[in-house]
Amino acid sequence: MTGAGYDQDAPARILVVDDTEASRYITGGWLRRNGHEVIEADTGAGALASVRSTPVDLVILDVNLPDMSGFEVCEAIKSDPATAALPVVHVSASMIEASDRAAGLTRGADAYLSEPVDPGELLATVKAALRYYRARAAAERLAARLSRLTAVNLGINAARTFPALVTAAAQGAAAVLDCAATVLVRLRDGGEMWGSTEGTAEPVVLSTTHPLRDLADEALPEDTTSALRTLPDGRTCVVLARIRSDHPVTCVALPASAVVAQEDRDLLVQIGLTTAVAAEGLRAFTDEHDIALALQRSLLPSRLPHRSGIRMAARYVPASTVAQVGGDFYEVTELGDQILVAIGDVTGHSIEAATIMGEVRHALRAYAIEGHPPALIVDRLNAMLRRFHPEGLTTLCVMLLDPLAGKASIANAGHIPPLVIDADGARYLRLPGALLGVRTPRPPATEIDFPAGTTIVLMTDGLIERRTAALDADMEHLRASMRADEDPESTCERLLGTYGRNKDDDIALLVLRRD
C-alpha cells in the first residue's frame, strides 16, 4: 500500500476501472478534487496489469467490462498474495439487484455501489475502505516490527563481547526500522566502540571513533535514563540511554526520516535501552572476569624453576565464556636434585572449586617436601579431600622427575595421562587410578625412563575436550600432531592456537623436555 502510513485520511492512489471514458472522467474528477491521485484502466486485463506493476491503495471497479466481469477481476486481485489486502469497490449501472450486490461482496469486494452514484456516497465509501485497510496494514506492520524487536533483543542480550553487542544492536535497529543505523557502546576502560550499517542487508563497520562523537558526550538530565533528540541539521535522530545517572551513555542513531511516528520513537528508545542494559552487563562481566582471573593466577606458580638439561613451558588459559574461577592448576617444585610436577582439575567453576584447588596444591607441596613419593602423595590427598571436601572430586597427575638418572615416577588419579614424545613417536602412558575423593584401592606409581630428547606433555581436559566429539578422538588427533624436535614454548603456542580457542572450560598445559 502506498498511503502516507500513519495518516488514515491521507490522499491515496486510486485505480478507476471502467470501459466508458465519460464515467472514468467523472469519477476521477470527484477523487482528484479530494486530493487523490487517479490512474485509469478500461479493461479487466489492464486493471490486473496496473495493480501488479504500480502500487495502488484502492480500486474502483466497474462490474461490466468488455473482456471479463468485474467479479472475476476482483477475485484475481484478492487471490494474489501481493494484492490480497487491496480494497475493491464495485460500481455498476445494470447489476443493481440485491443478489448482484451479494454476489459482488461474497466474491471479495469491500463495497458495492449502484449508478448513478452520489459523489458524497462514493467519497465516504472510499474513505471508509481506506481507513479500514490502512489501520489493518498499520497493525500488521507493528506486529511484524514487534516480532523483529523480540528477535533483536534476544540477539543483543546474547552478545558476549563488545564487538558482538555493537554489531547486534546496529543490525537490529536497521532491521526493525528498515534504515541505516549507528551504535555507540562505551567500554570498561573508557574507550568507545562504534558500529555503522547502511541498511538491513549491509555489513556493520566497527570503529573507535565516529562523526557523532561529540553527541555521545552530551549530558543527560540527572534523573533521566533515556532521551530522544534530533540533530540541528534535521537529518539524524539519536536516542541516548543509560542504566543509572552515573553510568556511561549508549547511543543509537538513525536517519530522522525513519523516525516519524510515535511508534518509531518508541521502538528506537527500546533498542537503545536494551543495548545500554546489555553493555552494562558486559562491563560488569569484564570486571568480574578480570578479578576471577587475578585470583586464579595468584593460586598458580609465579614462575617455573630453571634446571640445567630441562626446558619447561606452562600456560593457564581461563574459560572464555565464564567469569567464575575454575579448578584447573599445575605445580612445578624443585626438591633437591628432583623436580615435582603435577597437574589437576577440581570439578566445577566457583569460589568453592578455587578454594579446593588452592588447598590441594598447598597440601601437595607439603606432602612432597616431607619426602613422600607420588603414590603416597595421591593417597594422602585423597584422604584429605574425603575428610574435608567430600564433594570436591578432583583429577590429578603427580610426577617426580630425576633429571640426573633420567627417570620419572608417576601416579595418576583419573587425569588425562601424560603424553610422551621421543624418537619412536608420541604415545599416552597407560596409568590406572580413580579420581580423588573416591574410596577405592590405589595402584602403585608407574616408573618410566626419561632419556635425553624426550618431551612430556601434561594437560587438563579443557584443551582438547569438545561437547560435540568423543574425548578419545580428540586425544588421538592431538597425539598425531606432536613432533619430537619441537621446543616446549613452541609446543604450548601451537597447541593453544589449534585446540584452545573459545573454550568453555579452563586450560592448564605443562610441557617438559630433557635435552
| 142-191 per-position pLDDT tens digit | 888 888 999 999 999 999 889 999 999 999 999 999 999 999 998 877 78
- Low-confidence stretches of the chain (pLDDT beneath 50): 1-5, 323
Q: Is the dihedral of CA 502, 503, 504, 505 positive or negative?
A: negative
**Which DSSP state fits 422?**
E
The pLDDT score that the predictor gives to residue 480 is 93
Total number of residues shown for the chain:
515
The pLDDT score that the predictor gives to residue 354 is 76
Residue 506 neighbours by CB under 8 Å, 6+ apart: 296, 316, 317, 318, 319, 326, 327, 328, 345, 349, 460, 462
Residue 75 burial (CB < 10 Å; 0-12/13-18/19+)?
Answer: middle
Share of the chain above pLDDT 70, in %: 92
The pLDDT score that the predictor gives to residue 450 is 94
CA 202 – CA 481 distance, rounded (Å) = 40
Cβ atoms < 10 Å from Cβ of 127: 15
The pLDDT score that the predictor gives to residue 323 is 47
The pLDDT score that the predictor gives to residue 417 is 94
Q: Pick from 406, 399, 403: which is nearest to 368 by CA?
A: 399
Cβ atoms < 10 Å from Cβ of 219: 10
The pLDDT score that the predictor gives to residue 5 is 44
The pLDDT score that the predictor gives to residue 324 is 54
CA 384 – CA 358 distance, rounded (Å) = 13
The pLDDT score that the predictor gives to residue 349 is 66
**Is the separation of the CB atoms in 394 and 437 below 8 Å?**
yes
Q: Pick from 165, 171, 172: which is nearest to 187 by CA?
A: 165
In the sheet that holds 37-41, the strands lie side by side as 37-41, 13-17, 58-62, 88-92, 111-114
Which triple of cell numbers denotes residue 283? Answer: 562491563
Residue 372 neighbours by CB under 8 Å, 6+ apart: 380
Q: How far is the CA of 88 from the CAs of 16, 84, 116, 152, in angstroms?
A: 10, 10, 18, 37
**Is the separation of the CB atoms in 324 and 349 below 8 Å?**
yes
The pLDDT score that the predictor gives to residue 4 is 39
Residue 61 neighbours by CB under 8 Å, 6+ apart: 17, 47, 70, 73, 74, 88, 89, 90, 91, 109
Q: Collapse the DSSP code of 148 into the 3-class scheme (helix H, G, I; strand E, B; otherwise coil) and give the result.
A: helix
Based on C-alpha coordinates, what's the Rg of the chain?
Answer: 37
Q: Collapse the DSSP code of 366 into the 3-class scheme (helix H, G, I; strand E, B; otherwise coil) and give the result.
A: helix
Q: List residues bridging with 426 in a β-sheet.
A: 421
